[in-house]
Structure 1
Amino acid sequence: MSTGTVAGHAEPAAEPSAGPAVQGPAHAGGALGAVALPPRAERAERAQAAAERLRPAGIDAVAVTWVDNAGIARVKAVPLAGLVHAAEWGIGAAPCFDVFLADDTIVTSRLIGGPTGDLRLYPDLDRLVPLAAQPGWAWAPGERYTQAGTPHPGCQRLFARRMTGAAAERGIGLKAGIEVEWVVALAGEPQEEPRYPTAGPAYGMHRLTDLSDYLRELLRALDAQGLTVLQVHPEYAPGQFEVSLAPEGPVEAADTSVLVRQTIRAVSARHGLRASFAPVVEAGSVGNGGHLHLSLWRDGRNLARGGPGPHGLTAEAEGFLAGVLGALPELLVLGSSSPAGYLRLVPSHWAGAYQCWGLENREAALRLVTGSTGERATAANAEIKCFDATANPYLAVGAVLAAGLAGVDQRLALPPEFSGDPAEAGPGTVPRLPASAAEAIAAYRKSAVLREALGEALYEAVLAVRTAESEQYASATPEQLVAATRWRY
């Protein structure tokens, strides 16, 4: 549950800096485009400079992460002395990780799966940073290529970069931010029910006081890693907190969400605590969201302001949001990955369970945020409330861009907005979003936009993972489902 944070969505830079250079146009369709690796000599030179910078800081090893289709961050690590080789030649990573489930069961899909084959995982040196709460370690997100050096069609980060490039081809720049909610509990056995270190009330100063040293160390660690925190506060559920970061480009925002969660885990461990980002930590309670904020820009202008559409939306912004709103049932497959997410997505819990939009409406799945009078030209953005932290953030942002750009291309218009709680509007008045993974999967199967944008290999790998997990937990009680996923995320 979140009150939502109004982020200052300042104008994005003309050219994103993170990730290997994008050479040539990026396409909106399933084609990989030209997300080519820079020359090997250039990668080696930059890695050598990075290693020389990190060595005096006491860094011994670099963790390189990617996020699989179940929403789990996986990792390969190299000693600092091996960073240059990793940048030159990549780190071996089997393609079967694309069909891992959250409990580490391995399935298969038509184009990805099985024991044969290998990929190369390349660290993004632009995001390489020492981990402030893990002394001796640095971190970088990774991208996966084939052994021949061509983009892996199942790489989720490359997908997000292609969709960002597709927006740029239309002259649209984007800023994004992903809210991070978590529940902190006392460390215990792997399947133990959570025991909370604070009994403070929802949003209460009591809770912040109880854990002030913990939160202060977290803020210091995030700052040391170059991240700009907008706010941190207690949330609604027992032991629950939220941190909001400054908006960035879509790929960078996804990177940051991975880094923030890793930092929270590390700081928690140093305080004898553990963190859960699962959508529901106790059955029947309010859960953790992973709300995605987006703003669109053209020529230095926020497209959410100064237009003829509702609340000043330009035609492009309205088309984008209409495309996203219409695609929310299938987008849930990418934005709420686990079957446990549907235990959170219930009416009257500010989770966005209904397929509607509204100005500052926290029950609508799509909330328009304008900000205070005087700052709206920079602050106005849209929030997708039905997403949670089981999502692979690269898939989530990339798929939202694909749906939104389709709405721009088709010049869609938003339906009438809804004010208030849709649950009180009467049966059938406002469409309910899928109430189960199976319902969302059925919508995903029908989506030509997502199939084209993801490409067949990634589209089918996601489908295989979602279908397997849906079947895996089809007969589970809410308590069993929560217990199975509570400490996986």
Structure 2
Amino acid sequence: MGTMDRQQEFVLRTIEERDIRFVRVWFTDVLGTLKSVAVAPAELEGAFVEGIGFDGSSIEGLARVYEADMLVRPDASTFQILPWRGERPGTARMFADIRLPDNSPSAADPRSVLRRALGKAAEKGLTFYTHPEIEFYLFEKDLSSSGEPVPIDQAGFFDHVPQGAGHDFRRAAISMLETMGISVEFSHHESGPGQNEIDLRYADALSTADNIMTFKTVVKEVALERGIFASFMPKPLAHQPGSGMHTHVSLFEGDTNAFYEPGAPYQLSLTARRFIAGVLKHAPEISAVTNQWVNSYKRLWGGQEAPAYICWGHNNRSAMVRVPMYKPNKGASTRVEIRSLDPSCNPYLAYALVLAAGMRGIEQEYELPPEAEDDVWNLTDRERRAMGIDPLPASLDHAIHLMEESELVAETLGEHVFDFFLRNKRAEWAAYREQVTQFEIQHYLYRL
């Protein structure tokens, strides 16, 4: 039995002062689907101290039937009032940690997986910061006569569309995010019709993962208010760009950027170079998590500038890992951009594995391979092989086989999450493999 701390007392006081009638406690299942349970304010003090009991066996990957009893413990530091639920009476939300009945962390909680990875880095004096660039499509509510999604516009990269639905949408979504304390750095129209990007400001990885889950909810809420819908599907339209979640990462020792070394090539420290080497080496085996759906590999291998090859480069947008241009006298901004992630991933698990891969490179002193200076997409397979540039997995099936053999992924996720995730992905691949697609009908039905 615990006692209340100052943050929890602040939450209870704010709920009373702001006339909050419902508090939604959020958490995710292993696949990254947001879950929610509403708690009456009168029950919240008990939830802080004792947790809220629920049947974990009913949630994807959280527990087996014979170990179903679990608790959610609200994290008072994540308290925010939900602006789309009206002013009074109001609704708020908090993220929660999943606990076992003895109050120990659940091995199946994605938030706990990331906490463990961050804890290992913290033991070495390092804090992991992330900054995601999240792409998504906006579609009309109704499908076309052929059953295809209809983008809300036909604009392109950085296009300014006066009185355009996308422009108004981004303004409303950003206002709502900032009302909730989530800072936005940039936003713009992306390359595809109806495709948009909103970039969240740098934060520690756990806060970023919480912010991504909130971001997706806000984007969908704002879209519904406008009679349209938002999709984070990695490749919703053939022959159009897929949606990625490029993430800028860095490690700090206290207030010092561990990735920065004045005078080094691209100002990258040895720590940064080894981190990049770790991410590159382990990229294939973590792909089933960073790119977790069948459709993810249609983004990676569907053209349109997706990072399908394992290499790094300075300001090279064809590379899987890009080192942005250094800003003079801004050593704190030195970072690397990982371009393979897509927004369908569970951000808690994905960031845990990116960090684990980078830390493995630091700990085992991996050597960074030569930089890719060419446009990797335009090289031939023979040229890429000669340069030592390997491809990312070509399908979810390929990614599953690589993950199955990975000691790094098993150790980082823990046995429970590792086993469940693989079972789920094998089932997804088996179900997909049974399908007869429209492509097959068009190409083979009348030919054979």
Tell me the TM-score normalised to structure 2 length: 0.89
Report the equivalent of 2:187: 232
Change (3 A) 1:246 1:208: farther
Instruction: Find the counterpart in structure 2 of residue 51 from structure 1.
Output: 12
The answer on whether the counterparts of 1:304 and 1:313 sit within 8 Å (CA) in structure 2 is: yes
**Aligned with 2:350 (options 377, 391, 396):** 396
Structure 2: distance between partners of 1:303 and 1:274:
41
- Written as runs of structure 1 = structure 2, the 5 A alignment for 1:335-484 is 335-346=290-301, 348-375=303-330, 377-428=331-382, 429=384, 430-476=389-435
Residue 127 of structure 1 aligns to which amino acid in structure 2?
T
Between the aligned partners of 2:282 and 2:58, the Cα distance in structure 1 is: 27
**Contact kept in structure 2, 1:351 and 1:386, CA below 8 Å:** yes
What is the distance in 2 between the residues matched to 1:93 and 1:371?
Answer: 49
Kindly indicate whether the alpha-carbon contact (under 8 Å) linking 1:348 and 1:421 is maintained by their aligned counterparts in 2.
no
Instruction: State the 1:156 CA deviation.
Output: 1.0
Name the residue aligned to 1:41: 3
Q: Deviations over 1:294-352 (max 9, x none)?
A: 11122433233216764232121111111111010111111111111011012642321
Where 1:42 maps in the other structure, the secondary structure is: coil
Residues 152-167 of structure 1: pairs in structure 2 closer than 5 A: 152-167=106-121
Counterpart position of 1:293: 248
Which residue does 2:92 correspond to in 1? 138
Q: Deviations over 1:28-84 (max 9, x none)?
A: xxxxxxxxxxx62226x7545313303443422122222222232222222333322
Measured after TM superposition, the shift of residue 150 of structure 1 is: 0.9
Deviation at 1:435, TM superposition (A): 0.9
Which of 1 and 2 has higher RCO (CA within 8 Å, sep 6+)? 1
Does residue 67 of the first structure (1) align with residue 21 of the second (2)?
no
Q: 1:447 to 1:98 in 2, by over 3 A?
A: farther
Q: What does 1:67-86 align with in structure 2 at a 5 Å threshold?
A: 67-86=28-47
Moved more, 322-331 or 185-194: 185-194
Q: Distance in 1 between matches of 2:13 and 2:252?
A: 38
- Pairwise CA RMSD of aligned residues? 2.4
Q: Which amino acid aligns with 1:439?
A: H
AA paired with 2:2? R
TM-score by length of 1: 0.82
Instruction: Classify the secondary structure of the residue corresponding to 1:149.
Output: coil
Equivalent-residue separation in structure 1 for 2:204 and 2:221 (angstroms): 25
Please list, as runs of the form range in 1=range in 2, the aligned pairs for 1:83-98 lying within 5 A after superposition: 83-96=44-57
Q: CA deviation at 1:86?
A: 2.1
Residues 361/209 of structure 1: CA separation in 2 closer, same or farther (3 Å cut) = same
Counterpart residue type for residue 443 of structure 1 = L
Corresponding residue of 2:273: 318
**Identity between Structure 1 and Structure 2 (%):** 28
Question: Residue 203 of structure 2 aligns to a residue in which SS?
Answer: coil
Contact 1:98–1:461 under 8 Å retained in 2:
no
Matched residues in 1 for 2:263 and 2:367: separation? 12
Question: Residues 173 and 208 (structure 1 numbering): CA distance in 2 closer, same or farther, change over 3 Å?
Answer: farther
Assess, with a 3 A threshold, how the Cα gap between structure 1 residues 112 and 185 changes in structure 2: closer, same or farther.
same
- Going from structure 1 to structure 2, the CA distance change for 1:422 and 1:476 (only over 3 Å counts) comes to farther
Q: Which amino acid aligns with 1:425?
A: L
**Could you tell me which amino acid in structure 2 is paired with residue 392 of structure 1?**
N
Q: Distance in 1 between matches of 2:406 and 2:171?
A: 45
Q: Is the 8 A contact 2:307 2:318 kept in 1?
A: yes
Higher mean C-alpha displacement, 184-193 vs 254-263: 184-193
For 2:21 and 2:149, how far apart are their aligned partners in 1? 34
Tell me which amino acid in the other structure corresponds to 1:366: V
Question: SS at the partner of 1:60?
Answer: strand
**How far apart in 1 are the matches of 2:51 and 2:412?**
26
**Cα offset for 1:194?**
2.3
- Cα distance in 1 for partners of 2:396, 2:304 equals 19
Name the larger-Rg structure.
2
DSSP 3-state at the match of 1:50: helix
1:169 to 105, 115, 123: 123
Cα deviation 1:353-386 (Å, max 9, x = unaligned) = 10111111112111112343343x1222111111
Structure 2 gaps, min length 5 = 440-448
* Structure-2 residue corresponding to 1:266: 221
Unaligned runs of 5+ in 1: 1-38, 101-110, 481-489
The CA deviation string for residues 254-281 of structure 1, in whole angstroms up to 9 with x for no partner, is 1111111111111112212211111122
For structure 1, which segment, 186-195 or 411-420, has the greater mean C-alpha deviation from structure 2 after superposition? 186-195
Q: Which amino acid aligns with 2:71?
A: R
**Distance of 1:304 and 1:388 partners within structure 2:** 24
Q: Deviation of residue 124 (structure 1)?
A: 1.1
| Offset at residue 208 of structure 1 (A) | 6.8
